[in-house]
Amino acid sequence: MTTSTLRTSHHVIISAPATGPHPEVTRLLAAAVVNRQFRFLLLNDPVQALNMGCQGEKFTFTKNERDLIFSINAKSLSELAGQLISSLGISAHSDQYQNKTAIRRVFKTV
């Protein structure tokens, strides 16, 4: 199984199985959840948000997926997620993701 991992900072790592049809959407939304600046940029200037990435992480979308993200005019992350899920035909209640997302906190010892 392939795992999609997003490092949100030096201390938090979110991993989700990349088994669905749109693993990059999972990564994009996870980045927007944990990073306030990226979320603001994604909602207000999605072109720049996707071009810049989030904390060194880049997102790989098809041209059609990018165009879809750019066309959504959402005021909140939940609105953006809802429109992406609806437009891409992703089941929001799929059992394939149940209990498979891991959030780890990494502690540095000094």
Q: Mean pLDDT over all residues of the chain?
A: 77
Number of other CB atoms surrounding residue 94 within 10 Å:
10
Q: Is residue 43 part of a domain?
A: yes
Tokens in use for 92? 């929001």
pTM to 2 decimal places: 0.66
* Residue 73 three-state SS: coil
Report the C-alpha gap between 86 and 4 in whole angstroms: 22
The residue segments making up the domain with residue 32 are 3-92+100-105
Q: Is residue 110 part of a domain?
A: no
Closest by CA position to 29, among listed 57, 63, 1: 57
Which residue pairs, CB below 8 angstroms and at least 24 apart, start in 73-81?
74/43, 75/43, 76/43, 77/29, 77/32, 77/33, 77/39, 77/42, 77/43, 80/29, 80/32, 80/42, 80/43, 81/29
The structural domain count of the chain equals 1
- % the chain with pLDDT above 90: 45
pLDDT in tens, 38-77: 999 999 999 999 999 999 889 999 899 999 999 999 999 9
Instruction: Give residues with Cβ within 8 angstroms of 54, minimum separation 6.
Output: 6, 31, 32, 35, 38
